[in-house]
């Protein structure tokens, strides 16, 4: 198989077009009616089965409840536990009305024990009522890319109108796993909640068998194996009689992190489904770093700017999902920058796009942005002269004007001296002329009187 792949790759390269051809991997055999597998980093869908079909999510609902709690409350905030929360049915940690508890302890209860009373406590402390909190859940779901979700409560107890899809849960989980605090709760196996003013110490254990359970077995591709999974990162279980077995599971191996979702499965089937999906993903795909954050993409001219050009960079690193056997050398980029941007320019302003390809296949398109702020330039920027050059020109003009003034002053001084010298010489000539005239008159008088005598 590898030899055949190498031959195909060489032929493709010789023809000048890199189209990757792989044998289609065997599709996962699942119990659940709906499922999806995505690359948690890139969001690429690696496998799906009825992924947009609506089902009851059961306690996988609590992923959204946890997101909103972590974004609206602090871990050491005290919670008000009222009668409604304390009497919530199903899985619970038996919160009592008036009990002194903090967000952190109750979050462990919700994420490990799947406590419904904990979910209601969060909803009411954040929004005042379950109904108002559900509105916030749905708004957030849309923001995260959910297409067919309608939450009516924070816990997932059955309601005919409480529906979501495998795809939507994958988008919600992808977002949740960017939060390191959520990751911590999702991967914790056991937690001890210290005694409160109303109850003794409580011990919580995670319901996700993939974190710890080697005793219960499932059959994956004909192989009987324990539920514990290498590299597991959580995330959340769910089960009701109407929903069946539900599970959102994440795992990481090396640089590749995956999220699997199965809905409408069975109690043990949900673990079998997610193990099957994750095995399929790790066997056939990998995540690679394609572009680094801050990568220099060139410069763009700035119209009316204090400088003529602005540097353009890639704001965030870009990862790509490739077939497991594919070479990273297949990745290539095309950078298309704007002809110009007009000042003032803000740092992070879009200045072009970067297209990432694997061979001839377009993987994604990403914004190229300006690396710095550029102020609007002075009057010379109209003709494309940057402020630094304009400053040089201004200084040069001032120097020339100063020189001309100096030369003018010197010219005036020289002229005045010349006038003074000419006046002096004229006065000297006039004085000499008068002296000669007087001498001539004296001589003439002497001769006159001499002739009379």
Residues identified as active-site: 59, 62, 114
Q: What is the DSSP string of 239-279?
A: EETTTEEEEEEEEEETTEEEEEEEEEE-TTHHHHHHHHHHH
Name the nearest CA neighbour of 75 among 108, 121, 123.
Answer: 108
Q: Is residue 248 within 8 Å of residue 170, measured between CB atoms?
A: yes
> What angle is formed at CA 156 by the lines to CA 216 and CA 67, rounded to 5 degrees?
95
- Contacting residues for 28 by C-beta, under 8 A, at least 6 apart: 35, 37, 47, 273, 276, 277, 279, 280
Quick one: tokens of 323? 């077939």
Helical ranges in 269-386 per DSSP H: 269-284
Give dist(CA 451, CA 406) in Å, integer. 67
CA distance 118 to 246: 20
Q: At what angle do helices 62-72 and 103-113 cross, to 10 degrees?
A: 170
Ordered DSSP codes for 108-150: HHHHHH--HHHHHHHHHHHHSSHHHHHHHHHHHHHHTT-SS-B
Q: Give residue for tokens 């030899």.
A: 3
Q: What is the CA radius of gyration of the chain?
A: 42
Q: Is the dihedral of CA 253, 255, 256, 258 positive or negative?
A: positive
**Residue 77 in 3-state DSSP?**
coil
For helices 130-143 and 62-72, give the axis angle rounded to 10 degrees.
90
Q: Cα 258 to chain center, whole Å?
A: 19
């Amino acid at each position: 198989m590898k030899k055949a792949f190498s031959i195909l790759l060489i032929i493709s390269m010789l023809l000048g077009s890199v189209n990757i051809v792989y044998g289609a991997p065997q599709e996962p055999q699942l119990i659940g009616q709906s499922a999806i597998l995505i690359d948690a980093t890139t969001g690429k869908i690696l496998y799906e089965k009825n992924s947009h079909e609506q089902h009851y999510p059961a306690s996988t609902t609590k992923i959204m409840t946890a997101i909103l709690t972590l974004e609206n409350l602090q871990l050491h905030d005290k919670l008000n536990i009222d009668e409604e929360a304390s009497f919530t049915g199903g899985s619970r940690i038996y919160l009592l009305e008036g009990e002194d508890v903090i967000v952190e302890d109750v979050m462990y209860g919700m994420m490990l024990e799947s406590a419904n009373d904990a979910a209601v406590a969060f909803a009411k402390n954040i929004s005042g009522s379950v109904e108002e909190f559900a509105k916030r859940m749905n708004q957030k779901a849309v923001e995260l890319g959910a297409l067919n979700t309608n939450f009516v409560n924070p816990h997932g107890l059955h309601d005919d109108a409480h529906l979501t899809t495998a795809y939507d849960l994958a988008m919600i989980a992808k977002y949740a796993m960017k939060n390191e605090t959520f990751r911590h709760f999702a991967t914790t196996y056991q937690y001890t909640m210290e005694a409160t003013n109303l109850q003794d110490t409580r011990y919580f254990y995670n319901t996700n068998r993939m974190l710890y359970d080697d005793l219960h077995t499932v059959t994956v591709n004909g192989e009987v194996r324990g539920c514990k999974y290498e590299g597991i990162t959580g995330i959340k279980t769910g089960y009701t009689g109407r929903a069946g077995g539900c599970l959102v599971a994440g795992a990481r191996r090396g640089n590749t992190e995956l999220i699997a979702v199965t809905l409408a499965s069975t109690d043990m089937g949900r673990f079998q489904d997610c193990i099957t999906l994750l095995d399929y993903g790790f066997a056939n795909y990998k995540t690679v770093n394609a572009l680094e954050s801050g990568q220099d993409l060139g410069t763009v001219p700035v119209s009316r700017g204090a400088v003529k050009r602005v540097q353009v960079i890639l704001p965030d690193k870009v990862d790509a999902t490739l077939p497991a056997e594919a070479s990273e050398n297949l990745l290539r980029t095309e950078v298309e920058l704007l002809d110009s941007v007009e000042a003032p320019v803000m740092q992070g302003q879009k200045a072009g796009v970067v297209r990432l390809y694997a061979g001839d296949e377009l993987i994604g398109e990403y914004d190229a942005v300006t690396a710095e702020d550029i102020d609007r330039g002075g009057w010379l920027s109209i003709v494309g002269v940057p402020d630094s050059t304009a400053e040089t020109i201004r200084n040069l003009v001032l120097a020339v004007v100063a020189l001309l003034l100096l030369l003018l002053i010197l010219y005036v001084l020289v002229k005045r001296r010349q006038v003074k010298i000419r006046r002096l010489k004229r006065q000297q000539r006039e004085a000499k002329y008068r002296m000669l005239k007087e001498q001539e008159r004296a001589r003439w008088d002497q001769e006159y009187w001499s002739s009379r005598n």
